[in-house]
Amino acid sequence: MTPVQTHLYDKVCHHLNVIYDQVDTAQPLTEVAQTLLSKMGLDQDDVTLPAPHQNHWTEQDVVLITYGDSIVTADEAPLATLHQFLKQHVNNTINSVHILPFFPYSSDDGFSIMDYSTVNEGLGTWHDITAIASDFRLMSDLVINHCSSRSAWFNNFTKSEGVGSDFFFTVDPSFDTSQVIRPRTSELIRATETAQGEQHVWCTFSHDQVDFDFRNSKVLESFISIIRQYLDNGVRLFRLDAIAFLWKQSGTSCINLEQTHEVVRLLRTLIECAQPDAIIITETNIPNRENLTYFGNANEAHAIYNFSLPPLLVNTLITGDCEYLKNWQMRMPPAQNGTTYFNFIASHDGIGLRPAEGLLDERELNTLLNTMQSFGGLVSWRSTPDKKQKPYEVNITLFDALQGTVKGPDKWGIERFMCAHEIMLAMEGIPGIYIHSLLATSNDYEKVKNTSQNRSINRHRWDHLKLTEQLSDKRSQHSRVLTKLNAILAIRIKQKAFHPNATQFTLQLGSGIFGFWRQSIDRKQSIFCISNVADIEQQIYLSDINLISTHDWWDLLSQEPINMDQPYLTLTPYQSVWISNLN
């Protein structure tokens, strides 16, 4: 081995020793380390260890989140239709795309994978995936906690033979599950007949989604092969789905265990050595303080989902009071170089409520729930360790969630919706925009009826021809929102002060005005991002934001200069300004 290889090998061995410290592995960990390096293609002489604290992102990075078949055309692969849509409508404003699981699956709209190595033939082929990856930075899910009960691996488990026969987590009556935390109300354990008799399989999410047993190093080796294949097909961002539940231990909550964190560290080591510009994003829909731990010491996730932002921002805009959002933002630590936040306010799931725990009090949560239900939203539930049921998430499209306030629907829906994005797009971190926000899609009740799944409300499938007709009608909500968002994005991606790691400082402008200051890393640009979050006109005094009077200032959003001779700015309901010293 060369010195670099030796150092990498030792580092991988260290990760494995932490993960398997209390496990009797079938083969020596030194052999496991060699296997992992070989499967990742890191057993060559030209391996380079990346320098720490490198940022593989800029202010130009914006991610579109979509299913492979969110837009469909007759007689065309949905992935080809998606590629066409991306090139036609967002080619100059969005440079990355997260295609939600595009593999063969049996349930949960893709998150119950039957085969990790092939593309769902109903979507297209690997050729379609690589074509998109050639034009956009591609993000893919690594559904690492569980797979489908109809997979070949689980079939081999039931037959007790072949690859997969020992891949799944089973328990006996002595395993203490009393403290387990999970986001579902279904039974945790599934009784399964196998060639060796009845076994009790762990199912965090549903009985069709059976959890892997990472105590078996062969499971880890299989996922390293999967990662290598994804890299070879153009994937550069890995979303580690449900990663918090990976490791199970009797008598614990079976969430966020140290072995899980070490697996993330191992994956980062291998991925960034194999592809230095690739990044890991952890999907951990959990309370904010726990979520932050997935940064590690800039040695775990490159980015973490900012799960607390959606409920706090929606709460702000329906109440007209930003105090909870402001207090949260003030307490959020700046991300170290080599890490950043992944900001979003809508996704294929719903508005998660666990990330609001400790941030919104029960009265505010109830107000949020009641308001969302009055706007047609649905509620999904989870079981607590003491068998009680608590709301887990609100299922609603963001466009419908922001159609009004706690007082009811009003005329400010689009303004409120745009205000939400103007806040999110200016915040520290990489922004992600869900396709149904980009297109201002409303609640799909017909799909909920057909699937009996609450989350389907925000998973509409657009016919490309009908969508084109709507986008051609300049009066439609879909055309208006897409045009406005593209205009804002075109401004956003040119601002050095919006680099994901640029300085952010929260402003104190009262409960009805939310504001923060961004400064570019080279300190040449300042942007004061200020939004009226209420349904009334409000004024802000320029003295309150300390604009240097010897400088010229512009509102980037309106492209108008700031008149320093006037003592204040007047903001209409839900109006935002991005006040910059550089135009």
**Cβ atoms < 10 Å from Cβ of 266:** 22
Cβ density class 64-101: b for 16+ within 10 Å, e for less: bbbbbbbbbbeeebbbbbbbebbeebbeebbbbbbbbb
Q: How many helices (H) and strands (E) does the chain have?
A: 17, 27
Between β-strands 63-66 and 430-434, what pairing exists: parallel, antiparallel or unpaired? parallel
Q: Which amino acid type is present at position 203?
A: C
Taking alpha carbons only, the member of 13, 51, 60, 19 closest to residue 32 is 13
386 is catalytic: no
Amino acid residing at 118? T
The torsion angles phi and psi of 442, rounded to 5 degrees, stand at -95, 170
Residue 197's DSSP bridge partners are 194
In contact, 307 and 286? CB cutoff 8 Å = yes
What does the alpha-carbon distance between residue 149 and residue 105 come to, in Å, rounded to a whole number? 10
CB 343 within 8 A of CB 429: yes
**Taking the alpha carbons of 30, 35, 36, 41 in that order, is the dihedral positive or negative?**
positive
CB proximity list for 451: less than 8 A, separation 6 or greater: none
- Cα–Cα distances in angstroms (integers) from residue 148 to residues 248, 280, 331, 514, in the given order: 19, 23, 39, 44
Sign for the CA dihedral angle at 399, 405, 409, 412 comes to negative
Rounded alpha-carbon distances, angstroms, from residue 5 to 46, 47, 54: 9, 7, 21
Q: Quick check: helix, strand or coil at residue 519?
A: strand
Show the beta-strand stretches assigned E in 52-208: 63-66, 71-72, 96-99, 137-143, 146-148, 189-194, 197-202
| DSSP H or E segment with residue 225 | helix 217-232
Q: What is the gyration radius of the CA atoms in the chain, in angstroms?
A: 24
Locate 522 and state its tokens: 């080279």
Dist CA 147 CA 350 (whole Å):
22
**Exactly one of 241, 349, 400, 555 is catalytic; which is it?**
241
Tell me the CB-side half-sphere exposure of residue 38, using CA atoms within 13 A: 8
Q: Which two tokens stand for residue 20?
A: 């398997």
3-class DSSP state of 468: helix
The burial class, CB within 10 Å (0-12 / 13-18 / 19+), for 567 is: exposed
Q: In angstroms, rounded to a whole number, what is the distance separating the alpha carbons of residues 338 and 249? A: 31
The token pair that represents 389 in the structure block: 């049921």
Q: Which residue numbers are catalytic?
A: 241
